[in-house]
Amino acid sequence: MDLLRPILGDKVAGTRVVPIATKITLIFTLFLLASNFASNYINIMFNQGVQVGYVNRILMKDLSEVYGMASNQYEVYQFKSDLPATIKSMTSASAKALEGEKPAVFAVRKDGSFLFWSSKLPQPPTFPDKAALARLLAAGTPDGKIEYKIGTESWFGVFKYHEKWEAWIVRVDSRNEFDGETQDIFIRIAIVIVILTLVCLLVGVLLVGKILHFVGTITRDIMKMQQGMKMGIVDLKGAPNDEVTYLGASFNSLSSTIDNLLAIFRRFVTEDIAQRAYQERDVRLEGQTRNLAILFSDIKGFTYMTETLGNDIIDVLNLHYQRAIGRIHEHNGIVGSIIGDALLAVFGTMKSDTNKCLEAVRSAYQIQEVASELRSEMMQKRELIVTRRGALTESEERVLKAVLVEVGVGIDGGDVFYGNIGSYERMTNTVIGDNVNSSSRLEGLTRVYKVPVICSLFIKEEIEAVSTGEFRFVELDLVQVKGKTIGKRIYWPVRTSMVDEALDRELDAFAGGLKAYYDGDWRKAAELWAPVHLPLIEEFRERIEGGAAPAGWNGIWAMTTK
């Protein structure tokens, strides 16, 4: 199929785009064949008419000789009165004028019987074509042309009435044989025409292909742009100065303008909206309920950063977001909104073979890595300054503290509304739902439990369903966040690659103490948590400091702040 691609073209959205060179060549070939065959046929028909006239003259000459011979034989018959011998003589004499298998000379009476028959073909009992015989009788002419049929064989020739023998002397030849030779000539000429046409076609394809070479180049480049949904530049290197090249140059100019606008458009909308707008040529106010994973990231200590850095905080935020957003996109997430220090990302809107919740948790840890890398870079700069000057000033220490970005990430998921809201004058892409608010609350809890990422039971179950073993989900608590009336289990997804023997023991000890904590046996919980040194344990030690669970304890901790 690849060999025929230059001729048949490629399919785009189920429709084959046939190269214009193929169409031009095909039309040229059809017209060339039609004109050659038509002119050849007309030429043969004219020549056949001339040949028929020539053959009729030959037949008439043969007929005159046979007629004269029949008159002489009639005189012999009158003298000898031996009819069989006379007929035999006429048959024998007539045969001398015949060449080939089908020509015939005969004399037929008015009743259809034959006076004599001279041919290599067998003699029929009577003249077989009664209609032709009737025409002879009705014509009443002494001589003329005749046509008749014997079965499927057609015959043509000339006749002359012999009054003494009271019979028509007829000299005929086979129409089928005559036409067959004409057809043979036509077929041989047709073969020559086809061969010449193929040669011309090959030359034509090469010439047309060379002339329209850059039409194919432009078409292929545009197809690649459509598939990649990105405008590009058509390579016109070596193109001649014709209309095709001008068309390509004009397209390149338009493409550059559209590409710039599209790049700007992509920066202000999510990737799925950009793709849909590219395909449907429209962005509509609409949405639908979808099952998605929601990631909420927030920078800790933002108020301190703002007070310390002033307008320079924009540079720090851009440096962080430039890297963090790239990691989100790598995991098929889209950034729904950025509000100062907070970032909302959605997973599950883009086509992907990976579980959306798994991609969200992976992105959460990569956001943490981005922040860690940024902090490392800042500390390296501090060390350079200390090496050169000995120490940082108090204001420089404040700035350093402000740029040591730390983030918390909360992840929840489920059915939410996802789509465009606003008006056709100004619209925005958004995600709305209780799980969106929940992801924000979970991010806030990272400050309480001092862990980098917190997720919901929904995220845990979705990831465990695919059995990747990449994360170990540590249950943190059963909390009732502010604004809610029911408790919700929250989890810390820990990378299994980070869990060594010491951490594994501490996590198991924490899980055992958490069960006693839920049951209200806080003294036992304190004993089980004694060997635990994880930062998150500080929150629980403060809670159980009194040693006994409050009255009506149900295991749910109600948060009083967001």
- Are 478 and 500 a contacting pair, CB within 8 Å? no
The model's pLDDT over 340-382, given as tens digits with 9 standing for 90+, comes to 889 999 999 888 788 999 999 999 999 999 999 999 998 998 8
Question: Measured between alpha carbons, how far is 382 from 380 in angstroms, rounded to an integer?
Answer: 5
Give the chain's residues under pLDDT 50.
1, 280
Q: What residues form DSSP beta bridges with 431? A: 418
pLDDT at residue 538 in the model: 93
Using the 8-state DSSP alphabet, how is residue 143 labeled?
E
CATH classification code of 285-432? 3.30.70.1230
Q: Apex CA 299: angle with CA 295 and CA 305, to 5°?
A: 165
The model's pLDDT over 103-123, given as tens digits with 9 standing for 90+, comes to 888 999 988 898 898 888 888
pLDDT at residue 357 in the model: 95
The model's pLDDT over 213-231, given as tens digits with 9 standing for 90+, comes to 667 677 777 777 766 666 6
pLDDT at residue 22 in the model: 65
Question: Measured between alpha carbons, how far is 108 from 115 in angstroms, rounded to an integer?
Answer: 6
CATH superfamily to which 23-183 belongs: PAS domain (3.30.450.20)
pLDDT at residue 119 in the model: 87
Contacts of 7 (CB under 8 A, 6+ apart): 19, 22
Largest CA distance in the chain: 164
H-helix or E-strand spanning residue 386? helix 356-389
Q: What is the CA radius of gyration of the chain?
A: 51
Question: Measured between alpha carbons, how far is 251 from 222 in angstroms, rounded to an integer?
Answer: 10
Q: For residues 76, 77, 78 and 80, what is the CA-based torsion angle, rounded to 10 degrees?
A: 80
Question: Measured between alpha carbons, how far is 281 from 97 in angstroms, rounded to an integer?
Answer: 86
H-helix or E-strand spanning residue 447? helix 434-449
Q: Residue type for 235, please?
A: D
What are the structural domain ranges in the chain? 23-183, 285-432, 469-562
Q: Residue type for 400, please?
A: L
pTM score, whole prediction: 0.58
Q: Which of 94, 54, 58 is nearest to 73 (CA)?
A: 94
pLDDT at residue 475 in the model: 96
Question: Measured between alpha carbons, how far is 556 from 24 in angstroms, rounded to an integer?
Answer: 79
Q: Which of 93, 64, 83 is nearest to 171 (CA)?
A: 64
pLDDT at residue 243 in the model: 62
pLDDT at residue 211 in the model: 66
Contacts of 8 (CB under 8 A, 6+ apart): 16, 18, 22
